[in-house]
Amino acid sequence: MRPIIPDYLAEVLSGVEPDTSGALADYIPQLAAADPERLGAAFAMLDGAVYGAGDIDIEFTIQSISKPFIYALALSDRGFGPVLAKVGVEPSGEAFNEISLESDTGRPLNPMINAGAITAHSLAGAEGLAPADRVERVVDGLSAFAGRRLTVDESVCASEMEHAHRNLAIAHMLRSHDILTEDPRAVVDGYTRQCSVLVTTRDLAMMAATLANRGTNPLSGEQVVSETVVRQVLSVMFSCGMYDAAGDWATQVGIPAKSGVAGGLIGALPGQIGMATFSPRLDRHGNSVRGVSLFERFSSDMGLHVMEVPATGRAVVRSHHVVGSGPNALRVLELQGGIGFAGAERAIQEAMAIPPGDIRVALDLTRVHAIDDVARRVLLEVARRLTLTGHEVYLIDPESVMPDPDPGDGGRITVVDTVEYADLQATEAAQGQGG
C-alpha cells in the first residue's frame, strides 16, 4: 500500500505552490538571499513517526520560532514567578518588532514579540550565567526539543547583528526599565544567535510534537520541560504566536502556532500532532504566505481546530445492574472509556440513584482505559459517601487504572479483579459470620 499521509501532504503542497505572493524578509540581508521557491511540510506524530513532502531536510534559521521554546526554558530554569514578573502574557495585536512595553510595569506584553523574547532569552539558564554560557543553554535546549544536535548559522547571525538597531533599541529600553539587568548588546547578541539556529522542517515538526506530547520528545524520550510549562507555552502561542494576525489565526486555524521570518511555521495540537511548514515568502505580518494557507488546509481537512467539539464518546456508564440476590446481591456500576469530569458526573448521578437498602456496590472499571485526576477524585468521593451511608464498596479494577484508590476520611474500598471475586468475598464474609 502506498503511504497515505505523504500523498496527502504532496497534494496540499501542489495546491499552494502557484501562490508566489509575499516577499522575503529583507531586513536581514542573508535572508533576502534565500531561495523563495522552497516548500515543505512535515507532520510528527507522538510516537515519533514523521511524514513529509517537499523540502523537509533543507536547513534554514529558526528565527522567531525559537521564542516559545526559549520561553519554556526560562520558565523551567527560573520558575513562573520571576519570568511572569518580567514578561506578560497579553496579546499585543502589534507587529513582532514593535517597540512597546506595558505602561505601568515596563514589562513586554508577551514573550512572542521581540521585546518579550529578548527578555526571555536573558532568563534562560541559571541566574548570573555568562552570555556565552547562556547561548549554550539555549542551543542545548533547542536541540533537546528537536531530538538532535543543532548548530548556529554564523553568517545569518552576523548579518542580522549588523542591522540589529531596532532590537538594540528595544533592549536599551528594557534596560532602562530594569527588565534587563545586564549589557543590552550582549543580550541582543545572544538572542540573535538563538534566532540563527539552523533547523529543518522535520526538526520543527519534532519540536512542535514535543510540545504536543506534554514536553517529552517523541524520539529521544527525554522530558525536556514539565507539563505545566508546556501548558503555559501553548496558551501563549495560541493567543500571541501569530502577532497581529493572532485573532484571524485563532478563529480560522485554531492551532497553537509560531512563525519565523525565514519562512518556517509550526503548529502543536496537544495530544495529537506536531506540524511544520517551510516557505520563505512572507505576508505583511511576517508570517509565511504559503505556510498560512497550508495550515488553513490542514486544520479544515483534518478537523484540527482546538475548539472543535469532539464527537460524543460512548456513554461512560455502560450498565448498571444487580448480580445475585438476597444479602449477597451486588449492585454493579459498570463504567467505560476515558473518564474526565463530565463522565465522573454521570457516575455521581447513577450512584445517587442507588437504593439505600442495596448494601453492596461495585464500581467496575474493567472497561475504563483512563481516568484523569478530577475523575479519580470524584469517584473516590462517591465511594467515600457510599461508605458513610452504610454501603460496602468494591472497586473492580484488574488493570489498576485508578492509582492509589484511597477514599480517605471514613471511606472504605475493597479492590478486586473481577465481579466474581467481589461475590466470593461476600460469600466468605457471610460464611465467616455464620461460623
Catalytic site positions:
64, 67, 191, 243, 261
Nearer to ligand GLN, 184 or 260 (CB): 260
Tell me if 167 contacts ligand GLN by CB under 6 A: yes
- Under 8 Å between Cβ of 69 and 256: no
Residue 389: strand, helix, or coil: coil
End-to-end Cα, the chain, rounded Å: 68
Binders of ligand GLN among residues 344 to 383 (CB under 6 A) are none
Does 336 participate in binding ligand GLN (rule CB under 6 A)?
no
Least gap, CB of 286 to ligand GLN (angstroms): 5
Rounding to the nearest 10 degrees, give the CA dihedral for residues 144, 145, 150, 154.
-120
Figure out which of the listed residues 76, 114, 122, 213 binds ligand GLN, where binding follows CB under 6 A: 114
Q: Cα-atom radius of gyration of the chain, to the nearest Å?
A: 27
Q: Is 260 in the site for ligand GLN (CB under 6 A)?
A: yes
Residue 219 in contact with residue 147, Cβ under 8 Å?
A: yes
Cα gap 241→236, rounded to integer Å: 7
Report in angstroms how near the CB of residue 190 gets to ligand GLN at its nearest: 12
Least distance CB 158 / ligand GLN (angstroms) = 13
CA distances from 205 to 316, 340, 364, 367 (A): 34, 29, 40, 34
Bridge partners of residue 396, in order along the sequence: 364, 416
Q: What is the pairing mode between strands 40-45 and 257-259?
A: unpaired
Q: Applying CB under 6 A, does 268 fall inside the site for ligand GLN?
A: no
Q: C-alpha cell of 17? A: 505552490
Nearer to ligand GLN, 63 or 92 (CB): 63
What the block records as the C-alpha cell of 355 is 437504593
Residue 335 CB burial class (10 angstroms; 0-12, 13-18, ≥19): buried
Q: How many residues bind ligand GLN (CB under 6 A)?
A: 11
Tell which positions 49-78 bind ligand GLN, by CB under 6 A: 63-64
SS3 content of the chain, % helix, strand, coil (to 5): 45, 15, 40
The number of beta carbons lying within 10 Å of the beta carbon of residue 188 is 27
What is each CA distance from 320 to 305, 334, 400, 430, in whole angstroms?
36, 6, 21, 24
CB of 340 to ligand GLN, least distance (A): 37
Sign of CA dihedral 27, 31, 34, 37: negative
Q: Which amino acid is at 101?
A: L
Which of 114/216 has CB closer to ligand GLN? 114
Q: Which is nearer to ligand GLN, 135 or 330 (CB)?
A: 135
Backbone torsions φ then ψ of 309, nearest 5 degrees: -80, 125
Helix 131-146 vs helix 66-78: crossing angle, to nearest 10: 110
Query: Per CB under 6 A, does 30 bind ligand GLN?
Result: no
Indicate whether 199 belongs to the interface with ligand GLN (CB under 6 A). no
In the stretch 279-298, what mask flags binding to ligand GLN with x, by CB under 6 A? -------x------------
Helical residues (DSSP H) of 114-183, grouped into ranges: 114-122, 131-146, 154-162, 165-176
**Does 97 sit near ligand GLN (CB under 6 A)?**
yes
By C-beta, is 200 or 387 nearer to ligand GLN?
Answer: 200
Residue closest to ligand GLN (Cβ): 64
Q: Choose which of 96, 145, 249, 394 interacts with ligand GLN (CB under 6 A).
A: 96
Q: Least separation, in Å, of the C-beta of 32 and ligand GLN?
A: 13
Residue 261 binds ligand GLN, judged by CB under 6 A: yes
Under rule CB under 6 A, residue 232 binds ligand GLN: no
Q: Is 111 in the site for ligand GLN (CB under 6 A)?
A: no
State whether the Cα torsion 384-385-388-391 is positive or negative.
negative
The reply on whether position 195 binds ligand GLN by CB under 6 A is yes
Select 160 or 392, whichever has its Cβ closest to ligand GLN.
160
Toward ligand GLN, which CB reaches closer, 195 or 362? 195
Q: In terms of CB distance, is 163 or 367 closer to ligand GLN?
A: 163
Using CB under 6 A, list all residues that contact ligand GLN.
Answer: 63-64, 96-97, 114, 160, 167, 195, 260-261, 286
